[in-house]
């Protein structure tokens, strides 16, 4: 196990190096000149040159890459160009809001989709099944934006069941007052595709021999589905949740924008709009690291769920 972990961590190095190189070259090659962005419209040439000197932009490319690497390793990104807030602080203060919304969404989505998908798989091939499948296709073709716009309008503005938007400093208030509507809308939208996906997982398992054996033993369809099929289908479901996990750090930026939730997703979007390069670069690299670590943890988890899996 230890050897496996070390090898996997070692394998991450080239990928991580590639991500750093990609981000560096992307902003160096295609992005605007940081000195001119920082200087603003009224900066004189002397001021721009001074900023360039300060940021080390007149150094050769290799030295600049060295500075970039040093920033990453020491977690010292300096400050946001727009708000002068340190990037590390930005990251730490925006993460809780994102998690407050995203963790309930992921949990509810997974926990609700499993029984729904089981139910649909139970009536597979019937008219109900076909109608549900067609309805989800149509529902999926409507943009996520429309659901949120209409949902916010109807539930918050017209019916007044929830606040239209807002956020507070207390976790309890956030969970009770501000998070329910965003969570509800996001789950309502993601439930259909998740159910569809899980249904295919269940149907894949239903074709296997052990299911036939279980039926031949005289077990009821319910027992077969709940005890045999469900346990085996948990593996692809786990994979799917693992794939979605890094996403909870990026946050559903649309939800955050709509409901003015001060999370990471909204912060990234603001950074893009303000050409705030340090923030975008830092987020891209750290989220990539988190993604890789989560993927590794998932592979280890497989071993726990399914003893047949050999880690190699």
Partner 1 sequence: MSAVIEAPLAAPAPGRRSAGVWSAAARRFRSDRVGMVSLAVAALFLLLVVASALGLVAKDWQVERGVPDAPPSFVGPRAQAENVAAAGPSGPNVDISAVDPLAPRYQEWAEAAKKYQTTAAARAATLPFGADRLGRDVLAKAIKGAQVSILVGVSAALLATTIGTLLGAAAGYFGGKVGDLLEWVYNVFTAVPGILLIFAFAAVFGRGIGSVVLILGLAGWTGIYRLVRAEFMKHVVRDYVRSAEAIGAGNVSRMFRHILPNVSHVILVQLSIHVVAFIKSEVILSYLGLGVGVDEVSWGTMLSEAQSELILGHWWQLAAATIFMAVFVTAFSLMTDALRDALDPKLRGLE
Which structure tokens are listed for 228? Answer: 């045999």
Q: How far is the CB of 153 from partner 1 (least distance, A)?
A: 5
- Burial (CB count <10 Å: 0-12, 13-18, 19+), residue 172: exposed
DSSP class per residue in the chain: -HHHHHHHHHHHHHHHHHHHHHHHHHHHHTSPPHHHHHH-TT--HHHHHHHHHHHTTTS-HHHHHHHHHHHHHTT---B-TTT--BHHHHHHHHHHHHHHHHHHHHHHHHHHHHHHHHHHHHTTTSHHHHHHHHHHHHHHHS-HHHHHHHHIIIIIIIS-SS-SS---S-HHHIIIIISHHHHHHHHHHHHHHHHHHHHHHHHHHHTSHHHHHHHHTT--HHHIIIIIIHHHHHHHHHHHHHHHTTHHHH--HHHHHHTT--SHHHHHHHHHHTT-HHHHHHHHHHHHHHHHHHHHHHHHHHHHH-TTPPP-
For position 128 contacting partner 1 by CB under 8 A, the verdict is no
Phi, psi values for residue 102, rounded to 5°: -75, -35
Residues 249-268: x/- map of binding to partner 1 (CB under 8 A)? -x--xx--x----------x
Q: How far is the CB of 254 from partner 1 (least distance, A)?
A: 7
Selected from 58, 143, 168, 260, the binder of partner 1 by CB under 8 A is 143
Cβ-based nearer residue to partner 1, 175 or 244:
244
For position 142 contacting partner 1 by CB under 8 A, the verdict is yes
For position 101 contacting partner 1 by CB under 8 A, the verdict is no
Cβ-based nearer residue to partner 1, 49 or 129:
129
Q: How many chain residues are in contact with partner 1, going by CB under 8 A?
A: 50
Q: Candidates 28-36, 42-50, 103-111, 172-180 — which segment interacts with partner 1 by CB under 8 A? A: 28-36
Which structure tokens are listed for 77? Answer: 């990104």
For position 10 contacting partner 1 by CB under 8 A, the verdict is no
For position 297 contacting partner 1 by CB under 8 A, the verdict is no
Selected from 10, 13, 30, 209, the binder of partner 1 by CB under 8 A is 30
Q: Candidates 96-104, 132-140, 216-224, 226-234 — which segment interacts with partner 1 by CB under 8 A? A: 132-140
Which structure tokens are listed for 41? Answer: 């419209």
Q: Which of residues 31-60 bind partner 1 (CB under 8 A)?
A: 31-32
Selected from 4, 8, 16, 55, the binder of partner 1 by CB under 8 A is 16
Phi, psi values for residue 304, rounded to 5°: -70, -40
Cβ-based nearer residue to partner 1, 146 or 305:
146
Question: 191 vs 112, 123, 139, 199, 221, CA distance in Å?
Answer: 8, 18, 11, 12, 25
Cβ-based nearer residue to partner 1, 164 or 175:
164
For position 292 contacting partner 1 by CB under 8 A, the verdict is yes
Q: Which of residues 151-180 bind partner 1 (CB under 8 A)?
A: 153, 157
Cβ-based nearer residue to partner 1, 30 or 62:
30
Q: How far is the CB of 143 from partner 1 (least distance, A)?
A: 5
Cβ-based nearer residue to partner 1, 86 or 291:
291
Binding site for partner 1 (CB under 8 A): 14-16, 18-19, 21-23, 26-27, 30-32, 133, 137-138, 140-146, 149-150, 153, 157, 196, 200, 246-247, 250, 253-254, 257, 268-269, 271-273, 275, 277, 280-281, 283-284, 287-288, 291-292
């Amino acid at each position: 196990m230890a050897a496996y972990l070390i090898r996997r961590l070692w394998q991450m190095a080239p990928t991580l190096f590639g991500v750093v190189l990609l981000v560096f070259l992307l902003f160096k090659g295609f992005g605007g000149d940081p000195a001119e962005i920082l200087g603003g419209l009224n900066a004189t040439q002397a001021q721009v040159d001074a900023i360039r000197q300060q940021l080390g932009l007149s150094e050769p490319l290799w030295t600049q890459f060295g500075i970039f690497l040093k920033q990453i390793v020491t977690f010292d990104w300096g400050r946001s160009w727009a708000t002068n807030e340190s990037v590390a602080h930005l990251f730490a203060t925006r993460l809780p809001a994102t998690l407050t919304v995203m963790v309930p969404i992921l949990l509810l989505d997974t926990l609700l989709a499993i029984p729904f998908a089981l139910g649909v798989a139970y009536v597979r091939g019937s008219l109900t099944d076909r109608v549900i499948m067609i309805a989800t296709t149509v529902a999926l073709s409507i943009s996520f934006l429309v659901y949120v716009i209409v949902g916010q309008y109807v539930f918050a503005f017209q019916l007044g069941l929830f606040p239209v938007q807002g956020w507070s400093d207390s976790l309890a208030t956030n969970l009770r007052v501000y998070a329910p509507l965003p969570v509800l809308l996001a789950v309502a939208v993601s439930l259909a595709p998740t159910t569809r996906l899980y249904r295919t997982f269940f149907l894949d398992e239903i074709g296997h021999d052990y299911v036939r054996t279980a039926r031949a033993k005289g077990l009821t369809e319910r027992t077969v589905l709940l005890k045999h099929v469900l346990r085996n289908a948990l593996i692809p479901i786990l994979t799917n949740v693992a794939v979605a996990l890094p996403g909870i750090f990026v946050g559903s930026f649309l939800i955050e924008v709509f409901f003015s939730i001060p999370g990471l997703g909204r912060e990234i979007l603001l950074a893009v709009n303000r050409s705030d390069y340090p923030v975008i670069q830092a987020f891209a690299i750290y989220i990539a690291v988190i993604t890789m670590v989560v993927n590794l943890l998932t592979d280890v988890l497989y071993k726990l769920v399914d003893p047949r899996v050999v880690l190699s």
